[in-house]
Amino acid sequence: MKLYLSAALLFSLAVLAGCSGQKNGDDKISTDVINIPSDSNSQGDLPVMTFAETEHDFGTITEGEKVSYVFQFRNTGKSDLVISSAQGSCGCTVPEYPKRPIAPGETDKITVTFDSNGKPGMNHKNITVVTNCQPNTQMLKITANVIKPEDKQ
């Protein structure tokens, strides 16, 4: 019995000695490849997305119409602007955006298409644009008064 107890104690000590709490470093991420704008030393070196306008009103349209608007913007910062995503607040609002980096001083566009099918009444839609700027989100807004075809005068 003492032999089994001694063997169990030695085994437990060996296991505990092997688990010294030191990490092997495999789970560390190199900070050399991470560039988080809020952590950057120089805010002046970041891209800046400057829109000519951030809101558009389509006015009164007939239900079933698809209307589009082009939001123009310029990179007024000092490094490449990258748009990682642009998403409408519902499936009826679809933005198309450049997938390539936009150099400082360059202009480009985001085209937003609104499908009014099944959307009668006043519509207010948001488009969230996520970039590598600080802050990293920009909000675009569209509005439209959608009337049924028989209501149009």
Distance in angstroms (rounded) separating the CA atoms of residues 56 and 73 = 14
> Structure pTM?
0.71
Of the chain, the percentage scoring pLDDT greater than 90 comes to 67
> At 128, which amino acid appears?
T
Which domains are seen in the chain, by residue range?
42-151 (2.60.40.10)
Task: Let me know: does 122 contact 147? Beta carbons within 8 Å.
Answer: no
User: What is the per-residue pLDDT for 28?
Assistant: 47
Q: Would you state the torsion angle of the CA atoms of residues 53, 54, 55, 61, taken in this order, to the nearest 10 degrees?
A: 90
Task: Let me know: does 95 contact 87? Beta carbons within 8 Å.
Answer: yes
Task: Let me know: does 144 contact 67? Beta carbons within 8 Å.
Answer: yes
Location of structure tokens 């688990």: 19
Rounded to an integer, the average pLDDT of 15-25 is 52
- The predicted-structure confidence for 75-102, as pLDDT tens digits, reads as follows 999 999 999 999 999 999 999 999 999 9
Report DSSP state, residue 32.
G
Average pLDDT of every residue of the chain: 84
User: What is the per-residue pLDDT for 10?
Assistant: 61
Q: pLDDT at residue 16 above 60? A: no
What phi and psi, each to the nearest 5 degrees, are found at residue 10?
-65, -40
Report DSSP state, residue 102.
B
100 compared with 14, residue with greater pLDDT: 100
Residues paired with 126 in a beta bridge:
141
